[in-house]
Structure 1
Amino acid sequence: MPLADLMAEARARDAADPLAPFRARVIRPEGRIPLDGHSLGLLPRTTPARLARVAEEEWGQGLIASWNRAGWIEAPARIGARIAPLIGAAPEEVTVCDSVSVNLFKLAVAALRLRPGRRVLLLEAGDFPTDHHVAESAARLMGAEVRAVARDGIADALGPEVALLLLSHVSYRTAAVHDMAALTAAAHAAGALILWDLSHSTGAVEVDLGDADMAVGCGYKHLLGGPGAPAFAFVAWRHQAALDQPIAGWMGHAEPFAFEADYAPAPGVRRLLAGTPPILALAALEEGVALVAEAGPARLAAKARALGDVLIAGLEAIGCPDLRLVSPRTGRGAHVTFAHRHAWPLVRALDAAGVTGDFRAPDCVRLGVSPLGLSFMDVVRAAEILEEVLASGAHLRPEYRAVRAVT
């Protein structure tokens, strides 16, 4: 379909979009099309005032009394309970703490302790590097080993020696989505536990953890919690009483204010806590989670799929033989990846033209289609700008090709 026809279709879709009012409830950089929400979500309009209130009133005036009066001490559980419906979990199975990497480490070690005699952590080859790094560290600590297998060989690699299967639900590179129910069942049939990384899922893809054992997810992408926002962790009810995580901090103690020398883990998922909760960061995350929860996971997922479909149609309408779609057409998360031999300078040229995406080595451009802050017109216009950049050769300018930086 030509881009002009796609633009007319986008206008009609935007007019009928039930999430259209939410675009006014986030802050967008003026003059830009932000296709990077899969990396850092937009700022909810309520967040600056919330942070000011927490800083000036709760901290400035309330001081330590705010741990109780302002509900600071309850924030990890309270926000976890708001996230739970977004991932198909019970409120008492989710808490907010630390980072994805720290939570992965805690749960990987705990999983090995729950499966004594099994010494293998199984991962998908090419999954997000942090997941591999953390798994290797946990394995060294526990005298285990990490095995990474191709995507189509995961089920066959599940054997009696596997303690834990660790997978990203949505691929950070291609946006391909795993069949969560099928792989969870396969892991359990082999006697293994499963740990899902929901970093590219929560808030953009429908998630039902079902019989899953454990999960982690990040707060700064589709949950709009801001840069470095705290992560969340899920542990199924049936594992909580036996969960032995390796970072025994005072906030995970059964009686943290008894100041006992010996450690006694808190009941339930609260035992995953370690240090003092970061209240300012939690306040920002709570605003983002509230907005996402109001929009609803089903509506968000449906719009993300539709935005991705329109973007793919726009890329194909350009008709450039150097563009190759990497993402699947179906079973896709909230970003679209395509390959181009000049991917890095192309990302920089797009940025100069007002479209923010990102680059993944060696030759991939990722364009996020976060459903809360984008319109269908946005993604078609991004395709038009891409066509203009390619036609003009702007991406071949020396200033865009020279230095590769973090994006």
Structure 2
Amino acid sequence: MLTLPTTDNRLETYTLSGQALTPRAPRVPLTRTAFAAAHVVSDPLRERDPWVGRPAVDWENTLRFRHWLWDQGLGLAEAMDTAQRGMGVDWPTARELIERTMKEARAHPMKPRVACGAGTDQVPLEDLRTTEAIAEAYSEQMEAIEAAGGQVIIMASRAFPAIKAGPDDYARVYGKLVKQAAAPVILHWLGDMFDPALKGYWGSEDIGAASDAVLSIIEDNPEKVDGIKISLLDQAHEEAFRARLPDGVRLYTGDDFNYAQLIEGDGTHYSHALLGAFAAIAPVASQALEALAQGDTETYHRLFAPTVPLSREIFKAPTRFYKAGIAFLAWLNDAQSHFIMPGGFQSSREITHYAEVFRLADRSRLLSKPDVAVERMTLLLKLHGIG
């Protein structure tokens, strides 16, 4: 039993449900590819000047969380925006993260699939004033990922909107990058609710025109594009977009609000998953996808349904601060031993948010170690003056 704050400035007693799932690997092969986008934690003892400079990554805890995901049969989206790329984690840190993660993945008994984000963040925006410079920056990171053994995700870059790039500029750069990649890549369409600097991506603020632009890139290179991750939180757009994809090119949903319906599909098309939300709800995601693979859509929806309010709380506006909720749940579930993030990012959400995440995680059957969860929630409450 806990005393938790509410958004209307009250304190209320909360008792855990006692219905948590036991994290485990699926018992059958999954019919959907499922990447969980993972976060990073800092070493509290080594961190100095947390708002500036390179973070002192806690490698033991950061990699421990990745093993926790892999043990449940999920793939990993590494060094993406969930790992605070451009929000506390720089490219040298991301590169080391990729190299360490790929080494761990090769040694893991389940041989998990890992895709890694390539961006342009090693070069200051003011030095990325031409498409040639943008392509060169991307190429450097793609080569590092391929050398480490990872699949490339070509992340959305702030450099394109910064130079007001048009559709032809995107086509020129992405066409070059896709062709030079050693293996099929995943493209990345991240909406401005996740990063305001990406407004107008693909050369237009009109979603229809932007869709046509990126589909043209894919249609020109279908054999070199594994799929595209779309994070626009717009179910209708994603369903219409995936129906237009060439055969063999996958839609990886990044819709942290509507994933259950999108992954199940409409009977003709369906989405795969590349989701920050799956890092937060891994036990449910793994076991719901197992049920879907067995044709048990009733269990699939029963498991996923209570996680939707949880995900909507974690990804509430300002959406870019969602990483804190994912790290918080990892801490509650003892998948890491502390809650310290690069740049002090754990402070980006308020205590009433964490209290609501706690309630909703419990109702979603996600607090698999309830004694640990209660102890750690109590510590956080005391830090905020709630005894």
- TM-score higher than 0.5: no
Q: TM-score, normalised by structure 1?
A: 0.32
Q: TM-score, normalised by structure 2?
A: 0.33
